[in-house]
Amino acid sequence: MMAGSSIKSYSFMDGSILGWKSSIGSWCRVTSLTVIAEDVKIKDETYLNGTKILPHKGINGSHPEAGKIIM
């Protein structure tokens, strides 16, 4: 977790990177070397598995397939 980032209640993050000023909502699961860049908002109840997310995005759907890049 970088400076200014936050994770809400009941979320799980393991083996991943959360960039500056980014946030993860409630009841989320972030695993398998997911990399979340700066200023990304992950909505509640989202599952990310090895996903790479570029800066300044809002994610509101799950991405269970490993290796996906969100531009």
In tens, the pLDDT along 16-67 reads 999 999 999 999 999 999 999 999 999 999 999 999 999 999 999 999 999 9
pTM above 0.95, yes or no: no
Beta bridge partners of 7: 24
**Is residue 26 one of the residues assigned to a domain?**
yes
Instruction: Name residue 70's beta-bridge partners.
Output: 53
C-alpha to C-alpha distance for 15 and 41, rounded to whole angstroms: 19
Range of the domain at 39: 6-70
Considering the domain boundaries, does residue 1 fall inside one?
Answer: no
pLDDT of residue 70: 95
Domain count, the chain: 1
Residue 18 located in a structural domain: yes
* Residue 64 burial (CB count, 10 A): 11
Q: What is the dihedral of CA 34, 38, 39, 44, to 10 degrees?
A: 10
| Domain assignment present for 23 | yes
Instruction: Report how far residue 18's alpha carbon sits from residue 53's, in angstroms, rounded to the nearest whole number.
Output: 10
Domain assignment of residue 38, yes or no: yes
